[in-house]
Chain A
Amino acid sequence: MATEENTGIGASVLRKEDRRFITGVGRYTDDIQVSGQTYAAFARSLWARARIDKLDTGVAAAMPGVIGVLTGAEMAADGLGGLPCGWLVKSKDGSDMQQPEHPPLAHTHLNFVGDAFAIVVADTEEHAQGAARALEQSVEVTELTPVVSLADATQSAPIHEALTSNVCYDWEIGDKAACKAGFAVADRVVEVELSNNRLIPNAMEPRAAIAEYSTGTDELTIHTTSQNPHLVRLILAAFVQLAPEHKLRVIAPDVGGGFGSKIFVYSEEVSVAWAAKKLRRPVRWTATRSESFLTDAHGRDHLTKAKLALSSEGKFLAMQVATKANLGAYLSTFASSVPTYLYGTLMAGQYATPAIHVEVQGTFTNTCPVDAYRGAGRPEATFVVERLVEMAARQLRADPAELRRVNFIKPDQFPYQTPVALVYDTGNYEASLSQALQHADYAGFAARQRAAEGRGKLRGIGLSCYIEACGLAPSQLAMNLGAGVGLWESAEIRVNPTGSVVVFTGSHSHGQGHETTFAQVVSSTLGVPFDQVEVVHGDTGRLDFGLGTYGSRSIAVGGSALIRASEKIIAKGKRIAAHLLQAGIDEIDFQDGVFSVQASNQSVTFAEVAFAAYIPNNVPTDEVEPGLAEKAFYDPENFTYPAGTHICEVEVDPETGKIDIIQFVAVDDFGEVINPMIVEGQVHGGLTQGIGQALFERGIYDDNGQLITGSYMDYCMPRADDLPNYVVDTTVTPCTHNPLGVKGCGEAGAIGAPAAVVNAVTHATGMKDISMPLHPEKVWRALQRKRRAA
């Protein structure tokens, strides 16, 4: 536990933000009340695919309390643009990806169940909901045949008439010929067909928005549940063209979890803002959980064929991967990049496989759009690599840990150029593997397995050695590959005359604890007491442009920007101190909050310098500008590459198919760690989402495109009694290219865990493969089939 005394980098400081949350005075979007507010509800498609023939709003508009009914046709007539996808992916043949129109409110076609086609604004939520339901009943449509199955979608007629097929892009990365050559000389080839189950993010706070339009100033203010409010503002201004950027303010106050789903700009938030401007009334909307299930961008949903070529000594020679990735009905904000640049590029994993070739078909279906969800592409890649490696070990009758070890990229091989574009800066995979094996008492497994057998249980152990690429960068490279936004981050440090500090960061915290960790960084760097550092984020009206939080980037990119801004503060502080101390600038040292003259006992404190900056009695303002505030924009040189080993040990009851996770060990290399308590918490949460994918969760549509896992009654969320206590530890190889040596920790658990669980269960049961989620019934049936076949 942290002590009062130590609040520096590396200390488990208790969180500053906790007090408001444990006393019930946090301020989430739906907690905000606005005078004169009205309530919005959405009329949504009940069909997976339909053409709108007639939409008469008269009846709904006349219902009690209804203030306005605004349709997709009116939005189009107002000239509002569609929702853009921020990453242009090109196909193998060099052609641009196919992009369907994505109007915020549909006006000609409905393309998934939940697709919004009108917004109703009323005096109460109940009245708004009532009128929206009436519209859903009265809209006249022609039902069209939906395309639901990912496996069949590429061959089916296009769901969007303007497109030539349901293939958004047919993308590849790696050297196909080299890969073929690797397979040609292989001693053994391991092949697998895998599905990566569709997940529904389920941040506990549903999406919400409150928009207020000020007629006098023509300003539009939107409070919303966003991971990156500046991106919302940019898209509303530049693409939707709702209002110019300088007349828009987007505030993301306390946000109750995101996991990717609150990165994106959705129909509802845009429509609420438009309605507020059009009706000249504040409009609020909060999703019901049912709406969250239907419309929050889903995650994963891949079908993959993969094979691995091995030499007679068990060396990996080549890997070939072909994936169909479900993108849903429209391209969500970053959908196109997830199964390509965040997936194919990770296929080397931790291994020195010399040749890799990955092909991905991004595919449209009449389902909710699919986009980044915790890990975003990297869990899917890890699952492919680590299932293949585990199967290879079983086929070779090799120890899975040993087979991994002999194929690892060795510490002296860094920086390491993979065959799939990335350059890993540093790592020590052997170290995290060894430490994980020790924690898991890998050597003692056989005895535990025998003991379980005596109790009628099947015991198994599974490894997953994952790699992750965090802090997507640098901007120039990403933009050459089609990214539509920069990938830097901003920071501003304002020192007050009394010496306290306000830190403005473009990163956003929605559970990650930045108000604490970022304060630790600045407090350590400037020598200002921890409780005198305030971290501000999430408001386009208070801080410079920022890119928000996604891809475990906040400390690696946002934290580095803080260091750069701190360096500027210190540099200016030295100039002020030089005047105060009547010494040359080169003679001034700065350490632990004190500016001192070298080889003397003369010094001034940081607070004294701050005071002098604003009350410049002894500082000539023609030489040093008054004030002490600095900004920095940090663009990283490269991704960071966290990596680690996860080991899962399970017992399966052959009579029921029920799986108990007996032990789960995660040893991760996140580089330097700012707050170990918070990092451990991030790992716990990530692992739980990964285990949720492996054991419980799957978003299911029926053949008609109806979501049949549309509530917590049908979609199984991990609960406290489903899970073990995790054993979490770290190894440290500092990142080589950022000032803190940090890598990022938010997604690692969700990336490594699914393969570890499935490897453990297949090990326990002796099955070659079984698809996620591993529900007891599925496991039991597979065991029965195996028993009958034996």
Chain B
Amino acid sequence: MQIRLTVNNTAHQLDVPDNTLLVEVLRGELALTGTHIGCDTSQCGACVVHVDGRSVKSCTMLAAQADGQEVTTIEGLADGESLHPMQEAFKNCHALQCGFCTPGMIMSAIDLAQRSPGLTEAEVRRGLEGNICRCTGYQNIVKAVLAGASGMKAAATS
């Protein structure tokens, strides 16, 4: 079927089989391989992207369901050389090791920060329930999400 997707500000018209998942379009057709597949039960969160600004597990959404919508992936966050505050925070806080869960973590974290302005540590820990990391023990991820949320707030007011 024909679908239209705007991905990282670029419009695409695609012809895909009906049962194609959004993540398959991103990784396959569009070669945006920063979005990962870590499980087959929608548990791990490595595939999280934003659809119209809200975090979505792209392994659980048909590409057709995103027809006409704006998709942002990890590749679309940085502004040229300048990183998104959440990306910056993940680096500064050593919030990643193997890096495989990281794109999904960052996309979830940004949505979390956007939805709850006064994010607490407990809210971050609860909010990351749908993202599994096997490397870091989450401590530095939680630290990064709090720092990234502050960075986003500062960037928004400046």
In angstroms, Cα B135 to Cα A780, docked, is: 30
Is B64 engaged at the interface, CB distance under 8 Å to the other chain? Answer: no
Partner pick for A21 among B41, B99, B131, CB 8 A cutoff:
B99
In the complex, A23→B129 CA distance in Å? Answer: 23
Q: Kindly state whether residue B106 has any CB partner on chain A within 8 Å.
A: yes
* Inter-subunit contact A712/B39 (CB<8 Å): yes
Of the residues B77, B91, B125, B139, contact of A19 by C-beta under 8 Å: B91
Check A23 against B75 for contact (C-beta < 8 Å): yes
B90, A18: Cβ atoms under 8 Å? yes
Separation of A721 and B120 alpha carbons in the complex (Å):
12
Contact A723 B83 (CB under 8 A): no
Chain B residues at the A interface, C-beta cutoff of 8 Å: 27, 31-41, 43-44, 46, 73-75, 77-78, 83, 87, 90-92, 94, 96-103, 106, 122, 124-126, 128-129, 131-142
In the complex, are the beta carbons of B97 and A721 less than 8 A apart? no
Bound-state CA distance A718–B101 (Å) is 14
Chain B residues within an 8 Å CB radius of A681: 94, 97, 135-136, 140
Residues of A within 8 A of B (CB): 1, 14-15, 17-28, 30-31, 33, 202-206, 254-257, 259, 286, 288-290, 510-513, 677-678, 680-682, 684-689, 711-713, 717-721, 723, 725-726, 749
Residues from chain A with a CB closer than 8 A to the CB of B32 are: 24
Q: Are B102 and A725 in contact (CB under 8 A)?
A: no
Residue of A257, A689, A717, A726 touching B98 (CB-CB under 8 A): A257
The distance in angstroms between the C-alpha atoms of A656 and B16, with both chains bound, is: 50
Is there contact, CB below 8 Å, between A713 and B41?
yes
Which partner residue on chain B sits nearest A513 by CB separation?
A: B97
B128 CB contacts on chain A under 8 angstroms: 719-721
Enumerate chain A residues within 8 angstroms of B101, measured Cβ to Cβ. Answer: 204, 256
Q: A720 to nearest B CB, angstroms?
A: 4
Q: Which residue of B lies closest to A687 (CB)?
A: B137
Residues A24 and B34 in contact in the complex (CB < 8 Å), given A18-B90, A719-B129, A720-B138 = yes
A711 to chain B: closest residue by CB:
B41
Q: Answer whether A22 and B94 are a contact pair too, CB < 8 Å, given A681-B140, A720-B138.
A: no
Residues from chain B with Cβ under 8 Å of A26 in the complex: 34, 99-100
Q: Which residue, of A27, A713, A719, has the highest number of chain B Cβ atoms within 10 A?
A: A719
**Interface pair A725/B139, CB less than 8 Å apart:** yes
Contact A23 B87, beta carbon cutoff 8 Å: yes
| A192 CA to B103 CA, complexed, in Å | 45
Residues of A within 8 A of B137 (CB): 684-688, 718, 723, 726, 749
Nearest-Cβ distance from residue A508 to partner chain B, whole angstroms:
12
Query: What residues of B have a CB within 8 angstroms of the CB of A713 in the complex?
Result: 41, 43
Query: Other CB < 8 Å A-B pairs besides A204-B134, A721-B125, 14 of them?
Result: A22-B83, A23-B78, A24-B34, A24-B75, A31-B27, A256-B99, A257-B98, A257-B135, A511-B99, A682-B97, A685-B136, A687-B137, A688-B136, A688-B137
Minimum CB–CB distance from A10 to chain B (whole Å) comes to: 16
Q: Report the bound CA distance from A63 to B138 in whole Å.
A: 45
A204 near B38: Cβ-Cβ < 8 Å: yes
Q: List 17 A-B contacts (CB under 8 A).
A: A15-B91, A15-B94, A19-B91, A21-B99, A205-B38, A206-B37, A256-B100, A681-B94, A684-B136, A684-B140, A687-B137, A712-B44, A720-B125, A720-B129, A721-B125, A723-B125, A725-B142
Instruction: Specify the main secondary structure of chain B where it touches its partner.
Output: loop
A538 to chain B, nearest CB (A): 13
**Could you say which residues of chain B place their CB within 8 Å of the CB of A25?**
34, 75
Contact B100 A685 (CB under 8 A): no
User: How far, in whole Å, are A19 and B125 apart by their CA atoms in the complex?
Assistant: 24
Measured between beta carbons, the chain A residues less than 8 angstroms from B77 are 23
Which residues of chain B are near A23, meaning CB under 8 Å?
A: 34, 74-75, 77-78, 83, 87
Closest to B28 in A: A33
Complex formed: what's the CA distance from A24 to B97 in Å?
A: 14
Can you name the residue of chain B whose Cβ is closest to the Cβ of A205?
B100
Among B129, B133, B134, the most chain A Cβ lie within 10 Å of the Cβ of B134
CA separation between A686 and B91, bound complex, in Å?
20
Residue in chain B with minimal CB distance to A17: B99
User: A511, B97: Cβ atoms under 8 Å?
Assistant: yes
CB distance from A360 to the nearest CB of B (A): 28
Residues of A within 8 A of B39 (CB): 289, 711-712
Give the contacting residue for A717; candidates B83, B87, B134, B136; CB below 8 A.
B134
> Bound state CA distance, A37 and B34, in angstroms?
20
C-alpha spacing A91/B101, complex, angstroms: 43
Q: Assuming the A-B contacts A21-B99, A257-B97, are A289 and B129 also in contact, with contact meaning beta carbons closer than 8 angstroms in the complex? A: no
Rounded to whole angstroms, the CA-CA distance of A205 and B91 in the bound complex is: 20
A752 to chain B, nearest CB (A): 14
What is the CA–CA distance of A259 and B32 in the complex, to the nearest angstrom?
A: 27
Q: Which residues of B contact A30 (CB under 8 A)?
A: 33, 37
Cα–Cα distance between A324 and B35 once the two chains are bound (Å)? 43
Q: Which residue of B lies closest to A259 (CB)?
A: B134
Contact assessment for A510 and B138 in the assembled complex, using a CB-CB cutoff below 8 Å: no
Beyond A15-B91, A24-B35, A512-B97, whether A721 also contacts B139 by CB under 8 A is: no
**A288 closest partner in B (C-beta):** B40
Once A33-B31, A289-B39 are accepted as A-B contacts, the answer to whether A22 and B139 lie under 8 Å apart by CB is no
Q: How many angstroms between the C-alpha atoms of A1 and B40 in the bound complex? A: 37
Q: Per a CB cutoff under 8 Å, which of B37, B43, B126 touches A721?
A: B126
A23-B46 Cα distance, complex, nearest whole Å: 14
CB distance from A101 to the nearest CB of B (A): 31
Q: Which of B44, B74, B91, B135 contacts A24 (CB 8 A)?
A: B74
Please report the C-alpha to C-alpha distance between residue A288 and residue B87 in the assembled complex, in whole angstroms.
Answer: 28
